[in-house]
Structure 1
Amino acid sequence: MEFALDYPLHYLFAFAFFYPIVMSFFWVSGGLYYYWRRERKARPRTEPPPLEHAPMASILIPCFNEGEQVEDTVAAALAQRYPHFEVIAIDDGSRDDTAEKLEALAAKHERLRVLRLDRNMGKANALRMGALAARSEYLVCIDGDALLDEYATHWMVWHLTSGPRVGAVTGNPRIRNRSTLLGRMQVGEFSSIIGMIKRAQRVYGRLFTVSGVISAFRRTALHRIGYWSDDMVTEDIDISWRLQLDHWDIRYEPNALCLILMPETLRGLWRQRLRWAQGGVEVMRRYAADMLAWRKRRMWGVVLEYLLSVAWAYTMLLIVVLWALGLFVALPPALHVETLLPRWHGVILALVCLLQFAASMIIDRRYETRVGRNYYWMIWYPMAYWLVGWATTVVALPKALLKPRNARAVWVSPDRGIR
C-alpha cells in the first residue's frame, strides 16, 4: 500500500499508517513514565504496604461450568496472605459438576461460602448476588478459572483504603497456558499491549476498563451506580465507565497478579475478541450522550482513543475493499491501491512494535523474570492479533448497534486453551 497526499482520499491512507505509530508512542511514553515514577523503586510484590487496620475483604468467584478448574481457583483464593477475608463462590446454574465440587470444598473450609443460582442469569447477575451477600465493604472479583496470587488481595485493598474516592482497582493478569503459538503471543500482548495501555491511561487520565478477570471494588461505589448491568456483553467495561462517570477513581496495581487461561484456537480467540469489541460499542452507544458534559471531560481522552480505533478499523476495511475492487475493475488513480503487502512503512511499523515490546520487557521483568523468552514469538503478533482485532471491530459495530436494548447477557463457556 503506497500513498501520497495528492488526493483527499489518501489522507485516510496516511491515517491508517500513522495511527498505530502515534498510539504506540503514546502508550510507551505513558507506560515508561508510570514505571519510572511508581514501579522502579517500589516495594517488592511480596512486601505490600502495611495496613494500619486491615479491613475484611470478600473474594467473589462467579462460576459457570468451571468444574475442571474451580478447585484450583478456590484453593488459590483461600491461600491469600491477608488476615481477614472470606471467599464467596457463586454457581450460576452450571450444567457440569461445579456446584457439587463447591459444596464439597465449603464443607472443608470455613472461609468459603457457596451461592447456588438455579439458572444461568449471566456473570453480572452472579456478581451482584455475591456483592449483596458479602460481609465486607471491599470486594475482590476474579473469574472461575483464575489463580489469584497470594498477595493480590492485600495490594488491592491497600488501594481501596488509601482514599475515599477510590472506587475500583484493576490487577495484572498473566497468561497461564503457553503451549501454543497463540498462547505465547498472548504473554507478550498482556504485558506490552494491555499492561502498557493501562499504565498510560492511568497517567493521562481515565482507564478504558478494569480487567474483568481480576478487579476489586468499593461496595459503596457499586451501590451508588446500581451494581453491574446484566444487559451488557462486557460487564467490566460497563462498570468501569459508570464508576468514572460518577467521579470514582480507578487504580491500576501491577503487583496484583492473577494467572488466567486464554483461548489457543483461532475460533476461541475470535469469539473472545468479538465480545470485547462489541462490549466497547455497547458502552459507547449507551453513554456517549453523557460524555458531552464538561464535568465528564476527564473521560474525553478515553472516548477519543476508542473512536480513533474504530475509525482506523473502518479505514483499513475501505483500503482492503478498494484493493479487491482494483483486481477486477479499473479504478481512478485516487482510489487505486496497488498492494496490501507492507513496504517501507511496514518496516517502520515493525520497528515501532519492537520498540514497544522492548519497553514492556524492561517493565515486566519485575513480575516475571523469564518473560523475555516469549517475545521471540511476538514477530507474529501483527499478523495474528492485529488482523483479528481489526476484523472483530468491523463486525462488532453493526452487531452492537442492532442488538435489542435490555437483552440479558448470559454465560457462554469460553475456550480455555490447551493445557
Structure 2
Amino acid sequence: MGGTIIHWLLEFAFFYPLSMSLIWMSGGLIYFFRWERNEPLRVTPPELPDYPFVTLIVPCHNEGAHVRETIAHLSGQRYPAFEIIAVNDGSTDDTGAQLDQLTREVSNLRVIHLASNQGKAMGLRMAALASRGDYFVCIDGDALLDEYATHWLMYHMNDGSRVAAVTGNPRIRNRSTLLGKLQVGEFSSIIGLIKRAQRVYGRIFTVSGVIAAFRKSALHDVGYWNTDMVTEDIDISWRLQMRHWDIRYEPNALCWILMPETVRGLWKQRLRWAQGGSEVLLRYSRLLMRWRQRRMWPVALEYLLSLLWAYDMAAIFTLWIVGKFIELPPALYVETLLPHWHGVVLGATCLIQFLVSLIVDRRYETRVGRNYYWMIWYPLIYWVLNTATSIVAFPKALLKRKGTKAVWVSPDRGIR
C-alpha cells in the first residue's frame, strides 16, 4: 500500500505540470493560428460599426504616487465617447486631493469619495451605479492604459450580445530586479498562454482585475461584484460564465502595470490570488455539479488539480524531511529532491513553453525575448512560491466566514 501511495504521489507530481504545459501550449498555438497569425500588425485598430459610450472606472486606495499618471493615460484614449470615474476609497494619503484637482484639468473626469475603506468591489459597484455608459473598462489605480485599449476591448463587445467581459493584456513596467524580469516572462508564458488556451477551450478562469471591460446588463444580471470575496475578478468571472455569458481575451488591449519586486510583497499578492481561487471553488462547488454548468468543469477541474498538486508536493517534501530523522519503510522513503530524468523533461518542457509564448508575444512587445534567459529561474522561485501559497490559502478560504468584507490592503508596487 505504501509503495502504491508514494508511487502515485511521484507520478502525479511529474505528469500534472507536464500535461498542463502541453495543454496550454496546444491551446495557445490554436488561438494564435486561428485569431492572431493572419491578423496584420496595425498602427491603429480596425474601425468599429458602432462606438457606444464607455465609462472608464479606476478605484483608488492610497494611489497618490500614481493616480495622476493613470488618469492622464485614461484621458488620452483614442476612443471617441467615454467618461472617467475615479473612486477614492478611504485613502489616507493625498489621493483624494489630487483627484479633486484633476477634475479641474480633465473635463470628463468625475470623482466619488468614500469616507472609509470599503474595498475594491464596493468601489467598482459605486462607480457602476453612477455611470452613464452601458459598458465599463475597469483598471487599477497604478495602471497605464494603452491609448487604443478601449477600442480593442469594445471590438469584442460589438461582436456579440452575449459577450459579458473582455480581459486585456497586462504588461510589467518595473523590470530592474530578477523578480521583475521573471514576472515579464510569467505574464507572457504562463498567464497570457493560459488565457489563450482557455479561450479556445470555452471558459476563462478569470479576467485580469487590472484591465477588463464589462457589459453593464451582464453585471446587472449577476448582481455586480461581491464585496466579500478576496479576489473580486475571479468571482465575477465565474458568476458571469455560470449564467452562460461569454468572456474573451484580447491581447491587443495593453495595460502597463507595477508588480511586487520583494519576496514579502510577492508572497502577499500570490496568497491573495490563491485564496481567491479557493473561495470561488468552495462557494460554487454545489452549483458546478449541475449538468448546465458542464462548460465550467474544465476550469474548476484545472484549479482543483493544481491545488492537489501543491499538497502532493508538500507530502513529498515532508516525507523527504522525515526520512532524514526517522527510518521510514522503503516504500515511503524519498531519497532526494534533486531532479533526475523527470526534472530534465519538465525543465525542457518549461523552457519550450516559455519560448513558444515569447515568440507569440513579440507581436505586442518586440523586445520581450530578452527576458527568456531569466526564465530558467522561474521553476525554482515561482513553483515553490505558488505551491506554498496554495497550501496556506486553502485553509484560510475554508475558515473564512461568508459576508466578511474584503477591504483594501496597499500592495507592493515594486522597488523605486
Normalising by the smaller structure, the TM-score range is over 0.9
The question of whether the paired residues in 2 share the 8 Å contact of 1:94 and 1:120 is answered with yes
User: What's the % identity of the aligned pairs?
Assistant: 65
Q: Which amino acid aligns with 2:146?
A: D
Residue matched to 1:251: 248
Contact 2:320–2:333 (CA under 8 A) maintained in structure 1: yes
Contact 2:49–2:158, Cα closer than 8 Å, also in 1: no
Asked whether the 8 Å contact 1:208–1:241 carries over to 2, the reply is yes
Matched residue, 2:184:
187
**2:137, 2:179 → 1: CA distance?**
29
In the TM superposition, residue 45 of structure 1 has moved relative to its aligned partner by 5.0
Displacement after TM superposition at 1:157 (Å): 1.1
Residue 109 of structure 1: how far off its partner (Å):
1.2
Indicate conservation of the 8 Å contact 1:56/1:85, yes or no: yes
Report deviation, 1:9.
2.8
Is 1:45–1:255's contact at 8 Å kept on the other side of the alignment? Answer: no
1:225 aligned onto 2:222: yes
Of residues 150, 155, 160, the one that matches 1:158 is 155
Does structure 1 conserve the Cα–Cα contact (< 8 Å) formed by 2:26 and 2:197? yes
Kindly report which structure 2 residues correspond to 1:253-272, keeping only aligned pairs within 5 A, or say none: 253-272=250-269
Cα deviation for residue 274 of structure 1 reads: 0.2
Cα deviation 1:18-76 (Å, max 9, x = unaligned): 11011000000000110111011214353222112211111000000000000000000
Answering whether residue 16 of structure 2 is matched by residue 19 of structure 1, we say: yes
Choose which of 368, 378, 382 in structure 1 pairs with 2:379: 382
Partner of 1:69: 66
Distance 2:109 2:373 in 1: 42
Structure 2 residue 309 is matched with structure 1 residue 312: yes
**1:89 corresponds to:** 86
Partner of 1:341: 338
Equivalent residues in 2 for 1:187-226, closer than 5 Å: 187-226=184-223
For residue 282 of structure 1, report the CA deviation from its aligned partner.
0.5
Instruction: Give a deviation string over 1:373-401, Cα, whole Å, max 9, x none.
Output: 11111110011100000000000011110
State yes or no: 1:363 paired with 2:360: yes
Q: Match of 2:4, SS?
A: coil
Report the alpha carbon displacement of residue 342 of structure 1 after superposing the two structures with TM: 1.2
Partner of 2:400: 403
- The amino acid across from 2:102 in the alignment is L
Alignment of 1:39 with 2:36, yes or no, is: yes
Equivalent residue for 2:170?
173
Equivalent residue for 2:275, pick from 275, 278, 284: 278
Taking the aligned partners of 1:26 and 1:66, their CA distance within structure 2 comes to 39
CA distance in 1, matches of 2:248, 2:222: 18
Alpha carbons of structure 1 residues 147 and 366: separation in structure 2 relative to 1, 3 Å:
same
Deviations 1:300-336 (A, max 9, x none): 0001101100110010010011001100111011110
Match of 1:298 in 2: 295
Displacement of 1:343: 1.6
CA distance in 2 between partners of 1:412 and 1:406 (Å) = 18
2:143 is equivalent to residue 146 of structure 1 = yes
Contact 1:206 1:244 in 2 (8 A): yes
User: What is the identity, as a one-letter code, of the residue corresponding to 1:67?
Assistant: G
Q: Tell me what 2:7 maps to.
A: 10
TM-score normalised per structure 2 = 0.98
Contact 2:59 2:123 in 1 (8 A): yes
Provide the C-alpha distance between the structure 2 equivalents of 1:88 and 1:7, rounded to a whole number of angstroms. 58
The answer on whether the counterparts of 1:19 and 1:312 sit within 8 Å (CA) in structure 2 is: yes
SS, match of residue 9 in structure 1: helix
Q: Identify unmatched segments of 5+ residues in structure 2.
A: none
Name the residue aligned to 2:121: 124
Range 339-348 or range 329-338, more displaced: 339-348
Q: CA contact under 8 A between 2:77 and 2:148: conserved in structure 1? A: yes
**Alpha-carbon distance in structure 1 between the residues aligned to 2:111 and 2:26:** 45
**Does 2:385 match 1:373?**
no
CA distance in 2, matches of 1:333, 1:369: 52
For 2:5 and 2:397, how far apart are their aligned partners in 1? 31
**What is the number of residues matched between the two proteins?**
415
TM-score by length of 1: 0.98
Per-residue deviation, 1:6: 5.8
Q: In structure 1, how many angstroms separate the alpha carbons of the residues matched to 2:119 and 2:358?
A: 37
Which of 103, 106, 109 is residue 109 of structure 1 equivalent to? 106
The change in CA–CA distance for 1:45 and 1:60 in structure 2 (over 3 A counts) is farther
SS at match of 1:108: coil
Deviates more, 1:314-323 or 1:44-53: 44-53
Structure 1 Cα separation of the partners of residues 212 and 224 of structure 2: 14
Asked if 1 retains the 8 angstrom alpha-carbon contact of 2:50 and 2:158, the reply is no
In the aligned structure 1, how far is the partner of 2:253 from the partner of 2:335?
Answer: 48
SS of alignment partner, residue 168 of structure 2: strand
CA contact (8 A) 1:90 1:130 kept: yes
Q: Is the 8 A contact 1:21 1:352 kept in 2?
A: yes
SS across alignment from 2:21: helix
CA distance in 2, matches of 1:37, 1:332: 53
Matched to 1:69, the amino acid is H
- State the Cα distance separating 1:158 from its structure 2 match: 1.4
Give the AA of the match of 1:318. Answer: A
> What secondary structure does 2:275 align onto?
helix
Rounded to whole Å, the distance in 2 between the matches of 1:262 and 1:415 is: 7
Q: How large is the Cα RMSD of the aligned pairs?
A: 1.0
